[in-house]
Amino acid sequence: MRRKNTIKRVSIVGAGAMGCLFAYFFTRSGIDTGLFETNPDVVEKIRHGLTVAIDGERVPIRVEVSDQPGSVGAADAVFLFVKSYATRPAMEMVSPFLPPGSTVVSLQNGIGNREAIAGFVPPEQIVYGATTIGATKTGLNEVSYGGSGDIIIGGDDEAAVAGVSGLLEKSGLPVSVSPDPETAVWRKAVINAGINPLGALLGIPNGKILENPYSLALQEAILREAVAVAHGLSVSIDFTEIAISTRKVCAATSANRCSMLQDIEAGRKTEIDSINGYINRQGKALSIYTPVNETLCRLIKSREPV
């Protein structure tokens, strides 16, 4: 079995914006990296090169890419950068090829990805957390870096976490290790819950939410329900602090059209089930009333393709 704190080969599952961005950072740092993507058009484009817009420049880079799940077979660490609803299908494809002891890493949006991964590998092989690093796909093989952010990770196995932390540091990415990555996941999900469905349903960039007292009131109601559910699950999130943080994110990303809005406009499925939907489901299980999150979830689902 490989030593979990020695990562020589990385596989990235999903060649979306974040998958391509991390492939760029890893490859640029001399780390043996491969992308696995099921979309044949994306694979064909990336085989001709990947371009990353970063620091005012367009940087071309060659990245290994494959449409075969067996391509993860030599990886010491596998990073999942698929949508939350695709976590289980992705693991179904790649888990038969994972080497013994390989680490699976999730920095995905939403809540519940760790639990989905744990259906395929032992918990000690999972490193998970959240990141505020942003990226936008501008073409099948083009991505724009949205600027620096934080990465918070943790997990049950200290050696596995140390290995992933060292890999990220080698790649020049800011990372901190937390004994409580679940709170980091929840914080990001709660902030997303207070922004994404509003931007998607109103058809507005994030900053516009701050300009209307009614959208702000809705945001506050979403966050109050989410914090109540978090407390019911012993996740410590302060309402005032998270409300301020959510507004700061709206202001800092004022021109951004959130990913949920982009998904709705493109006729794609959204991640609402792992964000507001997850909050609503857990609320029901705890007998905590979450009518605003439930209504927003139903409205978003009404806009998704059937």
Report if residue 1 sits inside a domain: no
**Length of the chain in residues, anyone?**
306
Same domain, 148 and 233: no
Report if residue 35 sits inside a domain: yes
What's the total number of domains in the chain? Answer: 2
Same domain, 276 and 167: no
Domain boundary among 179, 198, 232: 179
Report if residue 299 sits inside a domain: yes
Report if residue 289 sits inside a domain: yes
Q: In 3D, which of 125, 105, 227, 225 has the Cα closest to residue 173?
A: 105
Domain boundary among 155, 179, 203: 179
Question: For each of the chain's 306 residues, which pLDDT tens digit applies?
Answer: 444 568 999 999 999 999 999 999 999 999 999 999 999 999 999 999 999 999 889 999 999 999 999 999 999 999 999 999 999 999 999 999 999 999 999 999 999 999 999 999 999 999 999 999 888 899 999 999 987 789 999 999 999 999 999 999 999 999 999 999 999 999 999 999 999 999 999 999 999 999 999 999 999 999 999 999 999 999 999 999 999 999 999 998 888 889 999 999 999 999 999 999 999 999 999 999 999 999 999 999 999 998
Same domain, 215 and 72: no
Domain limits for position 243:
183-303
Report if residue 216 sits inside a domain: yes
Q: Across-strand partners of 128?
A: 106, 154
> Is the CB of residue 129 less than 8 Å from the CB of residue 181?
yes
Same domain, 16 and 151: yes
Report if residue 296 sits inside a domain: yes
Same domain, 133 and 226: no
CATH number assigned to the domain comprising residue 115: 3.40.50.720
Same domain, 169 and 295: no
Same domain, 162 and 189: no
CATH number assigned to the domain comprising residue 245: 1.10.1040.10
Report if residue 140 sits inside a domain: yes
Task: Indicate the DSSP class of residue 258.
Answer: -
Would you report the helix, strand and coil content of the chain in percent, each value rounded to 5? 50, 20, 30
Kindly state the greatest CA–CA separation across the chain: 57
Looking at residue 2, what is its pLDDT? 43
Same domain, 206 and 157: no
Domain boundary among 123, 146, 179: 179
Q: In 3D, which of 156, 195, 192, 198 has the Cα closest to residue 177?
A: 156
Distance CA 192, CA 202 (A): 15
Query: 88: exposed, middle or buried (C-beta count within 10 Å: 0-12, 13-18, 19+)?
Result: middle
Distance CA 88, CA 155 (A): 19
Q: Across-strand partners of 175?
A: 151
Report if residue 4 sits inside a domain: no
pTM, to two decimals:
0.94
Looking at residue 7, what is its pLDDT? 93
Task: Indicate the DSSP class of residue 84.
Answer: G
